[in-house]
């Protein structure tokens, strides 16, 4: 059994399809999705559909990202600027010409998925989170501002007091390469902005990546080779 983490998707369903074909997860593998399924990219609806389908066939842990939280908040806030801001591409993926009205077109299953997302996921050696952790705060006490919103500062980052390695997204690595600090690895590799969507097996350092145009590459943290 492998534990496989996938970074920020941001509406990149084509990259997700290519990545899953490359990684070929089995039913025994555990897929940890680090959140930010929506916004920025072209097909947030398709990403949510694919995550729901994965939940039917695989062991999936879906974490909540800040963009997912913004979408949830907008549903109950008529004054939210999300529908015409960050959420514009998301709502357009539901094929409605009026972005605010498109909230009514979001399937109930998509809302249920976002509402069910976890804040953190912990294994024997790793902690998975969307954004970041306070290093000296127990996991049960971590505020959502930190876990969903706080950027990872490579110069200020310190190991978590648990001694476990943090696997996170949120802080986009525009180089397209995961940021490996030893005690923390960030795998938001800018899929929506022309970068790569990353899958990491933390136990081994194995990395797979795919782009929206279908190109893929694989290798290890710090050493990736393009396959197509």
The structural domains of the chain, with segments of one domain joined by +, span 3-226
Residues 6+ apart with CB under 8 A from 166: 126, 127, 128, 129, 132, 133, 160, 183, 184, 185
The C-alpha atoms of residue 108 and residue 178 are separated, in whole angstroms, by 34
CATH topology of domain 3-226: Purple Acid Phosphatase; chain A, domain 2 (3.60.21)
Q: pLDDT band for 105, please (50, 70, 90 cuts).
A: confident
- For position 98, what pLDDT does the model report? 58
- For position 97, what pLDDT does the model report? 55
Which stretch of 56-70, 94-108, 134-148, 191-205 has the lowest confidence by average pLDDT?
94-108
At CA 20, angle to CA 90 and CA 112, rounded to 5?
45
| Whether pTM exceeds 0.75 | yes
Q: Say yes or no to pLDDT of 228 above 70.
A: no
The C-alpha atoms of residue 33 and residue 38 are separated, in whole angstroms, by 13
* C-alpha dist (Å) from residue 29 to 37, 110, 159, 161, 200: 20, 23, 27, 28, 12
pLDDT one-digit tens code per residue, 38-94: 999 999 999 999 999 999 999 999 999 999 999 999 998 888 999 889 998 999 998
pLDDT one-digit tens code per residue, 175-186: 999 999 999 999
Q: What residue spans of the chain are helical by DSSP H?
A: 13-23, 44-57, 66-75, 88-92, 108-116, 144
pLDDT one-digit tens code per residue, 135-187: 999 999 999 999 999 999 999 899 999 999 999 999 999 999 999 999 999 99
């Amino acid at each position: 059994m492998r534990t496989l983490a996938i970074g920020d998707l941001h509406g990149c369903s084509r990259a997700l399809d290519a990545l899953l074909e490359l990684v070929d997860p089995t039913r025994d593998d555990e897929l940890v999705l680090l959140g930010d399924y929506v916004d920025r990219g072209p097909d947030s609806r398709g990403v949510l559909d694919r995550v729901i389908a994965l939940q039917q066939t695989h062991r999936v842990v879906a974490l909540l990202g800040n963009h997912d939280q913004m979408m949830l908040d907008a549903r109950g806030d008529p004054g939210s600027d999300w529908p015409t801001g960050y959420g514009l591409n998301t709502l357009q993926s539901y094929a409605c010409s009026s972005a605010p009205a498109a909230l009514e077109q979001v399937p109930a299953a998509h809302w249920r998925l976002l509402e069910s997302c976890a804040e953190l996921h912990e294994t024997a050696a790793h902690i998975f989170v969307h954004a970041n952790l306070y290093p000296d705060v127990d996991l049960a006490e971590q505020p959502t501002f930190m876990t969903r919103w706080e950027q990872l500062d490579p110069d200020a980052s310190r190991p978590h007091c648990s001694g476990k390695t943090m696997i996170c997204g949120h802080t986009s690595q525009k180089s397209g390469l995961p940021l490996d600090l030893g005690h923390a690895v960030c795998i938001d590799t800018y899929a929506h902005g022309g970068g790569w969507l990353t899958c990491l097996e933390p136990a081994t350092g194995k990395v797979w990546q795919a782009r929206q145009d279908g190109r893929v590459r694989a290798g290890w943290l710090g050493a990736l080779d393009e396959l197509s």
